[in-house]
Chain A
Amino acid sequence: MVMSMSSQTTPSGYLLPSIHSMPPFFTQQPNPVTQANVTENWTRLILSYARHRRLFYLRVEDAETKGNEWDEVLRNERINRGLKPSHLSFIMADMVSKNLAAYEPSKQTRTVLLYWRLPEEWAEALHDWASSAAQLNTILTFYEIIEPPVPSPLSGIPATLLRRAVNILTRTNRAQIIAVTDGEGVRFLPGNPAK
């Protein structure tokens, strides 16, 4: 049997790295040095796939059952391998410890919010968008940011991540949170990013 570890393009157009076709990549390794390498490769793969498909959440369940948005990555049908839920849970914990993800909601460890952009980077993206869309000094609801009439880099951002980004901007006086009738709104203010 000659087996070649090669990269593959998924139906969604994502280029999987060659390590994804290596059978033991789907097993949690007993050698800690080897596992560190496996974890690092999975972390990179998860974040880059999430960015490719704009996925914000990853759940332990995604490795338990088929038919979800993570199938292409958490399984490899060609070699009949799948990531085990306990292994995914281990990788998620490692990502949280490195601030590449956060348990969301907190006080549980089955779901993470993925930081393929850090909250600080989302804050900059948010302010850039508000400036370029001529939305400075007007009041926007969270809903208007999450589901804008014209798709934006912020489209579909989870409210909790948006709140974190807004909070970062308020600290440098580039945004204010304002109570509006149906909840909360935000007013963006010009200003230079605090270096």
Chain B
Amino acid sequence: MHRLGGVGIAAFDRQNQQKRSFAELSTEISQGQVDLLHAQLSQFRNALAHYAATHRDSIRDDPQFRHAFQRMCTSIGVDPLAGPRKGGWWAEMLNLGDWQYELGVQIVDVCVSTRERNGGLIEMGELVRLVSRLRGVKGGVITEDDIIRSIKTLKPLGTGYEVLDVGAGKKMVRSVPKQLDADQAVVLAIAQEEGGRVSEEMLVRRRGWTHERARAALENMLLRDGLCWLDEQDEEHGVAYWVPSAMHWDE
């Protein structure tokens, strides 16, 4: 009779050798898979690098393209700014990190330099306009979307920058850590509609507020928060309040 593995010491050896062979084979196969994966990765990387190089200028200069790119990144779960390295791989390839941080600095610049005038509250359109002017023609067009994204990157700094929705599709950016109450939001919304001017009568007539409530909201904004300015020469009501952040400034 013949056993496949044989008997005795010789059989033991053979078994061991088989084990070794299997192990070798397995290593070979795994190595092959790893190599393949590496090849695929490097191909992917090259493709991305190629993409980045080809589209970098479009991403930086064309707001629509940038928006589409950022949407794509979100849908595949990639944050173009995140990564183990400073700014992340994408950010590095695209210089998008620098771009975003630079925009952040410009937003802070505009918010701080207009703070004396507007009490730390600026209308989104006005902010886009002033930031664009700061960037000059070469900076390319920037949008509300870019500003909102940049403000998010400022969050870790704890500076209290926040985008507020004041209704009617209007957004404002607040750069001082102050709480706005509901009444102030109403005042801001009316100021937006009226080119900056608000009066006690407007709030009473349009919102059905009592005079006391209207006066309290306006006086708080005037005296406590410095968010509006007093006009004692108003032709209609004698006294009116002006919200500089809701006014359009040409300078």
Cβ B229 vs Cβ A29 within 8 A: yes
In the bound complex, CA of A30 to CA of B197 (Å): 17
Are B249's CB and A5's CB within 8 A? Answer: yes
- CB pair A81–B233 under 8 Å, yes or no, is yes
> For B250, what are the chain A residues with a Cβ–Cβ distance below 8 Å?
4-7, 18
Chain B count of residues within 8 A CB distance of the other chain: 26
Q: Which of B56-64, B128-136, B140-148, B234-242 contacts A (4 or more CB under 8 A)?
A: B234-242
What is the bound-complex CA distance between A75 and B116, given in angstroms? 23
The reply to whether A30 and B223 form a contact with Cβ atoms under 8 Å apart is yes
A23/B195 in contact, CB under 8 A = no
Task: Tell me the smallest distance from the CB of A42 to a CB of chain B, in Å.
Answer: 13
Given contacts A3-B196, A37-B117, is CB(A24)–CB(B247) below 8 Å?
Answer: no
Return the chain B residue nearest A40 by Cβ: B116
The A151-172 residues at the B interface (CB cut-off 8 A) are none
Is B211 part of the binding interface, using a Cβ–Cβ cutoff of 8 Å?
no
| Measured CA separation A7–B232 after assembly (Å) | 22
**B226 at the binding interface (Cβ < 8 Å):** yes
Question: What is the total number of residues of chain A having a CB less than 8 Å from a CB of chain B?
Answer: 25
Residue of A nearest to B239 (CB): A27
B231 in the interface (beta carbon within 8 A): yes
- Residue with the greatest number of chain B CB neighbours at <10 A, chosen from A4, A27, A33, A38: A27
Which residues of chain B (208-248) have a CB below 8 Å from chain A?
222-223, 226, 229-235, 240-242, 244, 247-248
Digit string of A113-140 for contact with B (CB within 8 Å is 1, else 0)? Answer: 0000000000000000000000000000
Contacts of B229 in A (CB 8 A): 22, 24-25, 27, 29, 34, 38
CB-contact partner of B248 in A5, A27, A30, under 8 A: A5
**Chain A residues in the interface with B (C-beta under 8 A):** 1-7, 17-18, 22-27, 29-31, 33-34, 37-38, 80-82
Q: List 25 A-B contacts (CB under 8 A).
A: A2-B195, A3-B196, A4-B249, A4-B250, A5-B249, A7-B250, A17-B251, A22-B242, A22-B244, A22-B247, A23-B231, A23-B233, A23-B242, A24-B229, A24-B230, A24-B231, A27-B231, A30-B230, A31-B222, A33-B116, A34-B226, A37-B116, A37-B117, A80-B233, A82-B233
Additional A-B contact list (12), CB under 8 Å, known A26-B231, A82-B233: A2-B248, A3-B196, A4-B249, A7-B251, A17-B251, A18-B250, A18-B251, A33-B116, A33-B226, A37-B117, A80-B235, A81-B233
Which residues from chain B sit less than 8 Å from chain A, CB to CB? Answer: 116-117, 119, 194-197, 222-223, 226, 229-235, 240-242, 244, 247-251
7 tightest A-B contacts by CB?
A24-B229, A6-B250, A24-B231, A3-B195, A23-B231, A27-B232, A24-B242
